[in-house]
Every structure is written in structure tokens, then in C-alpha cells.
Amino acid sequence: MEKVAFFVLALIAVVVANEIVEEMAKKFETDSATVQKCLDDTGITMEELGTSLKEWAELKDEDINEMTKQSLMKYVNFLACMMEKNEMMIDSKLVVDKIVESAQNDKDLLPPVPKEVLTECLTALNENSEISREDRVFGLMFCMMDGQTDKK
């Protein structure tokens, strides 16, 4: 009986994980295989992804330090992978027009980030030749967060 219960719980976990992957695929306007490839390539688990999303949601500007950045690095690498697969990042540079368009169409971003604010922020990230691909994605996350704060 215990083996059956364990199997059922494991099956439920797989189904839930698959649903999350499918939801992420919809969000990124791609397929589940692409999401799974980025999860595999970056070595992030669904649990780690959930934890990172929770950490990010609770993060305030004054809380950012190297330790915080390190704890979110797998998530940042996953986002970079997804952005590259969707041609929102090419050669470690953000594709500003595509990102702005996607943000403007994202119904979950309430209030939406003002187009001008986001464009200016993303352009500044691209112009900084000193930062890495990961730093650009991390910066993008702040552009989105700061843009929403500016609008409120």
C-alpha cells in the first residue's frame, strides 16, 4: 500500500511540474520542450525556481548584495536561456523592442511598465560593455520592477 501511495504522490508531482512547465511555456510564448531544455541546461529544479520566484517577489532594492545575487543566479541563468531561445537576447545583448513589446502585452504586469521608462533602462544595460549576460538579465528584472514602481 505504501508503494502505491508513493507512486501516486510521485505521479501527482510530475503532473504538477508538467503543468508549471506548460504555464511557463505559455508565458514565454514557446513550447514545453524549450522550457524543459533551459531547466536542464541551467540545472535549476522546479522547487529552486519556485523558491527564486518567491525570493524575487519579496526583494527590495536595499536588500541587494552579492549574496542575494548568488542565490538568484540559477534563476537568472534560466531567464537568460529562455530569452536567448526567444531571441529576446542575442550575443548577450537585450533585444529592447521585443522585450518592451512583450512587457506591454503581459496582462500579469499590473500596472504595465511605461514603454519609455523600460526602453531607457534596457538601452542603458546594453550600452554598459562592462556587464555580463547575467548582469543584464538581473538588470532587466530591476527595470521591470522599477518601472512598475514609477507608474504607481
Cβ-proximal residues to 71 (8 Å cutoff; 6+ apart), any chain: 52, 55
Mean pLDDT of the chain: 79
Report how far residue 103's alpha carbon sits from residue 97's, in angstroms, rounded to the nearest whole number: 10
Report residue 133: phi and psi, to 5°.
Answer: -55, -45
Q: What is the pLDDT of residue 14?
A: 40
- pTM reported for the whole predicted model: 0.78
Residue scoring higher pLDDT (147 or 19) = 19
First to last CA, the chain: 54
pLDDT in tens, 14-46: 444 567 778 878 878 889 899 899 999 999 888
